[in-house]
Amino acid sequence: MTTGSIEPQRRPFGSGKPVSLFTLGTMRALQSPGQLEAVVEAAIAAGINHLETAPAYGPSQRYVGQTIRRLGLRPEQLVITSKVLPGQSLVSAQDELRRSLEQLGLNRLDNLAVHGINRPQHLDWALQGPGQELLSWALDEGLVDQVGFSSHGSHALIAAAIRSGRFSFASLHLHLFDPGRLPLAEEALAKGLGVMAISPADKGGRLFDPPELLRQACAPLEPLPLAYRFLLARGISTLTLGAAEPAELHWAGLTGGPLSELEQAALERLHQQRQQRLGPEACGQCRACLPCPQQVPIPELLRLRNLAVGHGMESFAKERYGLIGQAGHWFEEINAEACLECGDCLPRCPHHLAIPELLADTHQRLASPPRRRLWG
């Protein structure tokens, strides 16, 4: 596992400026302008040139703008990505973009993403409605260099966005322990889009605090850098680091390139651990069970069971399961209780899993009082 190249590595990102292998997400270092300034300064020193912000991130854009001025950073040193929420009128979205530029102290934004194409109507907004007018206006007026999207939506919805030809980059949930969207990411990369992985440390399994079982399988490596290297080796353009303090940028020096023999061996041990602990109850995540008549997201629910049983990641699995139905369109809205045991999925499963029984077990293992978070 290699760290600390002399020249920071950059990868193409759509039609825009190349970006560092890691992107600083600015959602967490917001207790004060000074906190974000310290994190940004450390990120620049670590070779990061890509900062990601959004109007929905509280004072983030204002703090980023102040930090750029206080540190005397030049536009060519940075790549700035901000966002716009779908569903607005053209005038409202234009005003939001103008406010973003004002708060950031910029005349032009490198990247503008539609923030959360999570439902079909969000994509319709971007391709046919006021969003289409907004994106065309922003590009024609020279206010942004390129436009993209982020999504927590279905595979079909993400595929439609990638294939629309409208977007130059995509921000997706891509994780070592949730690789189902990797084919979509690879399709996007093949089409020339930039691809950013959303929060591999947190949403990828709270890998900054892994369970002992997971540590044992990865040893002598650590789970978090292994997860980062897995994505970088697959060619993902950049991975977000949501650092709240400079120390959390420890792994920003990781490089791209093929996996080492040590890394490949650790990944194989993880596979063996999962198979040994789950046995014939392992869900292969092929998605052949869908669609469910009750709209139960079977693969996602059984993925959480895979993690809890296969790798001892019960705390993370319970946290994610508890978000179901509590985060609007940012996360799944139906849990395993909705299964009516109709058996519609059974003949479609190539692994012959007893899906209704496994869903019931999933709910029994993971259900807990709900907690609400801003994002899924």
Determine the Cα–Cα distance for residues 306 and 285; give it in Å rounded to an integer.
Answer: 10
Number of structural domains in the chain: 2
Determine the Cα–Cα distance for residues 134 and 88; give it in Å rounded to an integer.
Answer: 10
Residue type, 94: Q
Give the number of other Cβ atoms within 10 Å of residue 273's Cβ.
18
**Residue 111 is part of which domain span?**
10-260
If DSSP states are collapsed to H, E and C, what string results for 291-339? Answer: CCCCCCCHHHHHHHHHHHHHHCCHHHHHHHHHHCCCCHHHCCCCCHHHC
Determine the Cα–Cα distance for residues 72 and 325; give it in Å rounded to an integer.
Answer: 44
Give me the residues paired with residue 169 across strands: 148, 194
pLDDT tens figures, 322-354: 999 988 888 899 999 999 999 999 999 999 999
Distances (CA, A) of 158 to 124, 142, 199: 13, 27, 18
Indicate if 309 and 340 belong to the same structural domain: yes
Indicate if 74 and 115 belong to the same structural domain: yes
| Domain assignment present for 277 | no
First to last CA, the chain: 30
| Domain assignment present for 3 | no
Indicate if 349 and 250 belong to the same structural domain: no
Decide: residue 88, CB within 10 A, 0-12 exposed, 13-18 middle, 19+ buried. middle
pLDDT of residue 376: 39
Scanning the chain, the segments in alpha helix (DSSP H) are 33-45, 60-71, 90-104, 120-127, 130-140, 155-163, 182-190, 212-218, 223-233, 261-278, 298-311, 314-323, 355-366
Indicate if 93 and 214 belong to the same structural domain: yes
Indicate if 352 and 219 belong to the same structural domain: no
Q: Which two tokens stand for residue 262?
A: 């040590």
| Domain assignment present for 155 | yes
pLDDT of residue 244: 95
Indicate if 45 and 166 belong to the same structural domain: yes
Indicate if 229 and 297 belong to the same structural domain: no
Indicate if 223 and 314 belong to the same structural domain: no
pLDDT of residue 369: 60
Q: What is the CATH number of the domain that holds 97?
A: 3.20.20.100
Indicate if 216 and 315 belong to the same structural domain: no
| Domain assignment present for 375 | no
| Domain assignment present for 152 | yes
Contact 147, 168 (CB under 8 A): yes
| Domain assignment present for 225 | yes
Determine the Cα–Cα distance for residues 286 and 295; give it in Å rounded to an integer.
Answer: 17
| Domain assignment present for 4 | no
Q: Which two tokens stand for residue 152?
A: 């927590």
The stretches in the chain having pLDDT less than 50 are 2-5, 372-376
Q: Which two tokens stand for residue 74?
A: 């030049």
Indicate if 144 and 209 belong to the same structural domain: yes
Indicate if 42 and 154 belong to the same structural domain: yes
Tell me, yes or no, if the pTM score tops 0.85: yes
Determine the Cα–Cα distance for residues 66 and 152; give it in Å rounded to an integer.
Answer: 30
Indicate if 202 and 315 belong to the same structural domain: no
Please give the DSSP secondary-structure letter assigned to residue 83.
E
